[in-house]
Structure 1
Amino acid sequence: MALTFKRGVHPPHGKHLTENNKIEYLLPKGLLVFPMVQHIGAPCEPLVKKGERVLLGQKIGEGKGFVTAPIHSSVSGLVKDIAPMPHPNGSKVLSIIVENDGLYEKHESLVPKQDYRSLSKEELLKIIQEAGVVGMGGATFPTHVKLSPPPDKKIDTIIINGAECEPYLTSDYRVMLEETQRVVDGLKIILHMFPGAKGYIGIEDNKPAAIEAVKRAVKDEANIEVKVLKTKYPQGGEKQLIYAITRRQVPSGKLPADVGCIVQNIETAVAIERAVLRGRPVMRRIVTVTGGAINNPKNFNVRIGTTYRELIEAAGGFKEEPIKIISGGPMMGIAIHTLDVPVTKGTSAILCLTREEAVLPEEMNCIRCGKCIQACPMNLLPTMLNSLALKGDYEAFEKYHGLDCIECGSCSFVCPSKRHLVQSIRTAKRTVLANKKKTK
């Protein structure tokens, strides 16, 4: 029987557009843009100057402190400029602009590593940190930090998240089919760092081909098991995934490590494998370019820094003018206003929606039906949090656990009055966290 969590919703999948399309390798043509913010934590500072030539895999940005992740060039070429540039998150971020010379001349640091089984946890963490590995499911939390829980947190469960519950997205699915062994090897490296821990790869039951492929790859691994999950959104949420597989509940305000778990995304596992076994920093992403407005929806293996415009052109361009373009999926992605933004470590998809797909009905008064409460996977009261957010009562908002919202959008999806619930809650969360930062 497929495992699952309590509550949640069933939005239309939209995955049929790309799920059977193999990953296509795409080399960039124009300028590449490398934002110095591609992770949660301290932003990076440029290590190169305008006019300098950089090599493939060269570290070009580095942050100070522990919670940060360096940035590497995905091509060789000339640094044309260092300036604020548009970012997929809607802001302008200090970025390094590199003109690709098409030679892909490698930096001397790109050499295969020794057998990971001979390395200590500290040595592996250093390799992962230097490679700039982050949570590539979208959260972009530095992976070396996630793999360094406090000494008093005993980790006995490592989960690789293959749910990919967000509608339209198929990049993780194609990776599980086409780079299966890399996913497994990434998990094995993490398990080497946590002796005695058990590994699980959770995959939704609407991906039978991926389930079979991964099961074949782990059939001889005594401490790795594939767990079949019920297709439901947001099954890939960290706390929801942990509950589905282990039946452990992460308390409010706590982290997965508090219940002995660490969760990593499919692409993150591959990034760990590439860093440790191949000596490759994070320079690529698998990106789904899809939606009703796209001529030829595809999955691309693309270099970090490539513009969204290039990917859309490679997918045949628009068959009709999109009414909305989203970086990510329809439930948790961010609407963008320009295609001249770069693929970053957190870019999973570019979703181009037609007017019919993106229609946003007029917001009406709440009818107190309680559907948002029934759907919320975090057991919150979205309608109350919405009201408190609109009133600006941030003290009460926090009291009713507004900060626990994972912004999955399930409440807005089921609301018959089309209330902008998750939007108001998201804004209130940002305000509360900003106020907390000011008072420190």
Structure 2
Amino acid sequence: MSAIPQERRIVTAIPGPKSQELQARRLGAVAGGVGSVLPVFAARANGGIIEDVDGNRLIDFGSGIAVTSVGSSAEAVVRRASAQLAEFTHTCFMVTPYEGYVEVCEQLAELTPGDHAKKSALFNSGAEAVENAVKIARAYTKRQAVVVFDHGYHGRTNLTMALTAKNMPYKNGFGPFAPEIYRVPVAYGYRWPTGAENAGAEASAQAIDMIVKQIGAENVAAIIIEPVLGEGGFIEPAKGFLPAISKFATDNGIVFVADEIQSGFCRTGQWFACEDENVVPDLITTAKGIAGGLPLAAVTGRAEMMDAPHSGGLGGTYGGNPVACAAALGAIETMRELDLNAKAKRIEEVMKARLAAIQEKYDIVGDIRGRGAMIAIELVKSGTKDPNPEATGTLAKACHAEGLLVLTCGTYGNVLRFLPPLVIGEDLLNEGMDIIEAAFARV
């Protein structure tokens, strides 16, 4: 494994000549519908650094969208996946099974919230996990309706596009969508009309009222929510909201699904974000951070629910691929050994202190939020709460030019989100914050 010096280095303009050359090739060969945040082509990545084909070293505040939490080439991930590659790459678990798949399911049963009997099924992507959670909930309840929330994001397949709130770029022109999907309000504290302190109680009451009146609780198979809403803007539902929705689900025989695809595996300073308010979901969907960058996803949940679909009703050719399972075991080993929950909490301390100082200086910072290494700032027009996507885009570009990779998100496109690898060095973290501060001063 090639260790990359953990320091930023800019030797060309960003993107450099070799990246520009590759971008020209890409335009000829790759479908235009596939976007990129920054057309810099990666050559190597490790720890908190991405090195491009021109030799520039960028500080990584994106982790491939919360995927490489253990770093891009963590030793245990590389070691275990390499060993598995040498043994066999695929048999299909539905044809001849193998131990790695079973072991990942055992680990998931141990790590996910709740001490009830649990089982898991493995898939390739977050969207597949969510889709299968819906299948399981429908099989278990014999009901059809699915409830989701404003600002929620759940994937790009037909069903998960229907579950996702934001039209552009995820849904526009791709319909018709799956039926029996219903959307209700979420407790978005910063934008709640009567103030953040009322959002938890009022939003949960509104959501429950809509479910009861417009759908009928007895018709609902599943309620699906991200415990921290990712693509929608790193919205932490106001306190009390998640427990109220979870209790309503339990009281009415509805399967409560926590979509922890972006927030799971130490990202928020806990193994799973729903632990923050002691919410124990019936089913939990995971992907992204689970396997150190290899494609793997899971649905984990109450054994009796997971066993509801008939034999052969769940699966997929590549689901729980043996190399990806080996990588997942390496990622979990790394998370445990390095105590990445503690590392995530430290990242939050450093980032929130630095961002608070920026907020004091610049009134376009409307809100600082998030937990662990899942932190965001919402940008607004001076003196208002009107979204400011222009400033957001300009700031992101200014950071990119200086060799700091940051991402944007939010229903209104006005949120800068920070997802550094949990193994990032504190010097790099602070250097990244220096770049953000300088970008604000310029913008």
TM-score by length of 2: 0.28
Greater helix content = 2
